Structure 1
């Protein structure tokens, strides 16, 4: 299993530390033993985990150490994840390849029987990060993919962490993290309607921005990594809040109340985080969700220790549900 490189991130003055200072924390943390129980660690050095189940198999979508290739692993159980073979699926030979420096947070999704991968490209020009789509050319998630291009959004702004939200009526929506304007002061969550898995059919609507103190630790303020979690007709968006370089990175929750998904009033934000640090596990965030033999799991990354910068581990935890149908993640393990 690969070891991710240090996070270059966008060219911005992060607070309370600079990018250079965060990278130094990251380097130091990787040289020291991690804190917390290691029983639940799937990958000892990793970030932005995406795991999906299909036909009794699990798939893990990630990037290589240089963040230059999208990789997909297939395995039968979570303990096998760290040793599963990672197959490079992009860049490939189908369609053009744009210029880029890094690939960020790829997600493998199965929509109407076809595999798609959503990801952001960083090209070292601050503010130009955008989202892109691949479509598989065969039923094999580890096979070849056609590059479908950039997801064109009428209000074209910095955008990362894209994911598809399928509604019960079959309508697809795209959710992601982006800037309101052209400067990096806050990352908000946006939603837009799709006409197919690689085409945006409406302008964006903001459904969450950092507003609570637990969403505003570190600067710029951050809402990112939105993921749909659907069960028994209930729809939730679980997202990451606060700076990913801080101990206070955590998960928040939006609940769909019904009606027009493009109406911000259709979404209720929980006033407190739904998954946050403990005395030994810091910065839990950027999660995906998978059900294995009837048991739901949250797959997330957390810092190796306090003040670890971007040195992170991928962890797994089974979770349950509250009586009102909302997820009960409990505390990180």
Structure 2
């Protein structure tokens, strides 16, 4: 039933194609799982269910030290934060969701609950997310929750309030990473002059819920045509440290079929707070492919497959170009999974021309 509801807005041929593909995926996964033959190394397109979770944008998967996977993402009504857990990536698809927090009726954190990320810092769980108020729905800021329980599906989630970024305007999509004993936050925010919708900013953290506002740098601003043709946006950063480099993916432009992923990188020995340490690809590294029915891929995260070594890209995309309503009211940004490979220079290859 769920499959056919999703198919209602598709053309006759799209419906038939997706139904066949989905049925094949179910049969193959069931057969291989039953025989103990599912290849978890991530080396073929049948390893992971796609879409992994329907109507979940801005997906984030955290793999804990015991091998458990936790999934968190934007809910389609922008009104709550949901969490699910499983021992495998595919298990997240059918795992029971738990509501860990719901928006306020008014005031701070009462509107536009966007892009939650789950992080484990100093033995404690944190969720970073964006929110605004019903009184001023575009007054979006970065907020945090915390939970001292060993299992984030249990215990009490406590509101930590707004993370102050140094100036007050449109801010969202905070992510956190650690490198050489220091902890950093990257987030998306307009500059003080409002020259664009958002750039990506970097600062060292002074605690899990605060940053050093005395030194903040922009590591990318929307300047290329593919970043600015509809909206001037850089947002949704995700960090992957491999091969002597710190890679940062990000998403750009409007959240329709113009949405695309860019790539930044810095050397692991560089001073990350030196803006000159950061390099930027002139072209997008992952973008719409109408032939593969992959529209507006972006706002990704990274995780590692069950084999402990294969890198995975977790992202959202739609199956179609023409939206139902607008990019915010159309709920069909589905979470997807794909394997990352690496080129001879140690750079990630997102395999643009391949289907999931």
Going from structure 1 to structure 2, the CA distance change for 1:45 and 1:127 (only over 3 Å counts) comes to closer
Q: Is the 8 A contact 1:162 1:177 kept in 2?
A: yes
1:48 aligns with 2:58: yes
Deviation at residue 122 of structure 1 after TM alignment: 2.2
Going from structure 1 to structure 2, the CA distance change for 1:252 and 1:65 (only over 3 Å counts) comes to closer
Give me the CA root mean square deviation. Answer: 2.5
Q: Is the 8 A contact 1:29 1:305 kept in 2?
A: no
Aligned to 2:233, what secondary structure does the other structure show? strand
Post-superposition Cα deviations, 1:148-169, rounded to whole Å, max 9, x if no partner, equal 11111222321010000211x1
Pick the aligned partner of 2:188 from 177, 184, 187: 177
1:58 aligns with 2:82: no
Aligned to 2:198, what secondary structure does the other structure show? strand
Q: 5 Å matches for 1:252-331?
A: 252-257=262-267, 258-278=269-289, 279=291, 280-292=293-305, 293=307, 294-308=309-323, 309=327, 310=330, 311-331=332-352
In structure 1, how many angstroms separate the alpha carbons of the residues matched to 2:233 and 2:8?
25
In structure 2, how many angstroms separate the alpha carbons of the residues matched to 1:300 and 1:213?
22
Q: Is the 8 A contact 1:157 1:182 kept in 2?
A: no
Deviation at residue 198 of structure 1 after TM alignment: 1.0
Aligned to 2:340, what secondary structure does the other structure show? strand
Q: Is the 8 A contact 1:127 1:183 kept in 2?
A: no
**1:109 alignment counterpart:** 119
Going from structure 1 to structure 2, the CA distance change for 1:221 and 1:29 (only over 3 Å counts) comes to farther
TM-score by length of 2: 0.78
Going from structure 1 to structure 2, the CA distance change for 1:248 and 1:29 (only over 3 Å counts) comes to farther
In structure 2, how many angstroms separate the alpha carbons of the residues matched to 1:115 and 1:105?
16
Post-superposition Cα deviations, 1:255-281, rounded to whole Å, max 9, x if no partner, equal 013432222111100111111122221
Q: Is the 8 A contact 2:203 2:273 kept in 1?
A: yes
Q: Is the 8 A contact 2:304 2:310 kept in 1?
A: yes
**2:158 alignment counterpart:** 146
In structure 2, how many angstroms separate the alpha carbons of the residues matched to 1:172 and 1:254?
18
TM-score by length of 1: 0.83
Going from structure 1 to structure 2, the CA distance change for 1:320 and 1:99 (only over 3 Å counts) comes to closer
1:134 aligns with 2:112: no
Deviation at residue 250 of structure 1 after TM alignment: 0.9
Q: Where do 5+ consecutive residues of structure 1 fail to align?
A: 3-27
Aligned to 2:312, what secondary structure does the other structure show? strand
Q: Is the 8 A contact 1:29 1:304 kept in 2?
A: no
In structure 2, how many angstroms separate the alpha carbons of the residues matched to 1:115 and 1:99?
19
In structure 2, how many angstroms separate the alpha carbons of the residues matched to 1:99 and 1:47?
19
Q: Is the 8 A contact 2:167 2:192 kept in 1?
A: no
In structure 1, how many angstroms separate the alpha carbons of the residues matched to 2:249 and 2:177?
12
Deviation at residue 199 of structure 1 after TM alignment: 1.2
Post-superposition Cα deviations, 1:230-268, rounded to whole Å, max 9, x if no partner, equal 1244211100011112x1211100001343222211110
Larger relative contact order (CA 8 Å, sep ≥ 6) = 1
Q: Where do 5+ consecutive residues of structure 2 fail to align?
A: 26-49
The structure with the greater share of residues assigned to helix is 2
Deviation at residue 318 of structure 1 after TM alignment: 1.0
Q: Which has the larger radius of gyration?
A: 2
